[in-house]
Amino acid sequence: MAFLASICAVAIWIYLLLGRGKFWLLREAEVADRPAPRRVAVIVPARNEAKTIRRALASLVEQDYSGAWHIYVVDDHSEDRTAEVAREAAGPELVTVIQARPLAEGWTGKLWALAEGVAEAESFQPDYVLFSDADIVHAPESISQLVGRAEAGGYDLISSMVKLQCETLAEKALIPAFVFFFFMLYPPRWTEDPKRATAGAAGGCILMRWPALARMGGIASIRGELIDDCALAKAVKKNGGKLWLGLTSKTRSIRSYETFGAIGRMISRTAFWQLRHSTALLAGTVAGMFVTYMLPPLLLFSGRLVPAGLGVYAWILMLVGYAPALRFYGVSMLWAPLLPLVALFYTGATIYSAIEYWAGRGGEWKGRAQDRKT
């Protein structure tokens, strides 16, 4: 049994490194040429973002872009000074702050805010719409690079995984793995391939062609989705759109996750939703995580030479795959051997997500209950 398990672990890691679009390399895209000036509507959904929105808006106002752009901040019934800070941060020439109407039945909060922003931006007659979270600080050339890449490649949706904050102990332990797992689920090469169903996007920074949004039926076509970014990408691809997914070190999130609990809640609020509330998929995910990540080091205690040796080999392959994520975040390679423990944490958060759903509590984000069993 130990021998077969060790063979399985090695086979999984050979497949992940060689057969899944080389997702683990985490290479940034080449710099795009400056595009012809296009009109860009920037929509920033904001709920309780008073701490971050000033810097986020400043980075958008100060863009080095030759085309016309206008920023629409949608205050999603914040309980802090989000709207006031947004109005103070920039003048009305480039920024419009609107109050979202009461959340409509059947909609998730962020998608409702995006739809409100899209409706407001229609009069601007944009060529593109940029969905940007209120904690994202853009590089000065961000809009120019996004539009340039879309124009050069004929893409209908461009999504950049921005560099997440990685300063606290919890962030150093868990954030590189979050990005590693994300690209494992949605390999950029597979997302771009029109022959594959894979469609991934990172919600903090998504640029879309305005006509592509119309072809998919607008935001209303995905109104009940909880994982809104990937649902948006899937809808675009389903309607014949061309996708690009990558990452950037220049545009960053300034949202801080100071504790392991904060990151655990961020994971658990959508994990069971992603498994479609399936007990079978949950069991398969737990088993898969165990064999892929936890089993290799455990084989060292099997008492048998060959399984232990194969376990070490699988563990080494794991370190090779994880190293680029640590390098991207400037985190010590001493964290690499701890990936099995990190995977155990993520597995626990996924199980907790299911428990919360079954208990009728669901996840919570910014004071709103999400994915609650009725």
In a domain, 365, yes or no: no
Same domain, 41 and 143: yes
Residues 212 and 67 in one domain: yes
pLDDT, position 240:
96
Q: Which of 237, 253, 269 is the last residue of a domain?
A: 253
User: Burial, 23: exposed, middle or buried (Cβ in 10 Å; 0-12, 13-18, 19+)?
Assistant: buried
Q: Using an 8 Å Cβ cutoff, are 162 and 136 in contact?
A: yes
Q: Which of 235, 253, 271 is the last residue of a domain?
A: 253
Residue 336 placed within a domain: yes
Specify if 370 maps to a domain: no
Question: CB of 259 within 8 A of CB of 173?
Answer: no
- Considering the domain architecture, whether residues 146 and 246 belong to the same structural domain is answered as yes
What's the CA dihedral at 222, 261, 205, 76 to 10 degrees? 60
How many domains are there within the chain? 2
Cβ within 8 Å of residue 120, ≥6 positions away: 72, 74, 96, 98
Confidence (pLDDT) at 238: 96
Tens digit of each residue's pLDDT, the chain (374 residues):
788 999 999 999 999 999 999 999 998 877 778 888 999 999 999 999 999 999 999 999 999 999 999 999 999 999 999 999 999 887 778 899 999 999 999 999 999 999 999 999 999 999 999 999 999 999 999 999 999 999 999 999 999 999 999 999 999 999 999 999 999 999 999 999 999 999 999 989 999 999 999 999 999 999 999 999 999 999 999 999 999 999 999 999 999 999 999 999 999 999 999 999 999 999 999 999 999 999 999 999 988 899 999 999 999 999 999 999 999 999 999 999 999 999 999 999 999 999 999 998 877 777 777 777 76
Domain around 174: 28-253
pLDDT of residue 190: 97
| 8 occurs within a structural domain | yes
Residue 369 has a pLDDT of: 74
Helix (H) or strand (E) holding 137: strand 136-137
The values of phi and psi at residue 244, to 5°, are: -140, 135
Query: How far, in Å, CA of 285 to CA of 271, rounded?
Result: 11
CATH number where 227 lies: 3.90.550.10
Residue 374 included in any domain: no
> 241 and 286, same structural domain?
no
What pLDDT does residue 60 have? 96
Structure tokens at 220: 């209303």
pLDDT at 322: 98
Give pLDDT, residue 173. 97
Residue 367 located in a structural domain: no
Rounded alpha-carbon distances, angstroms, from residue 211 to 20, 153, 197: 31, 16, 21
Residue 369 domain-assigned (yes or no): no
Which of 253, 287, 315 is the endpoint of a domain? Answer: 253
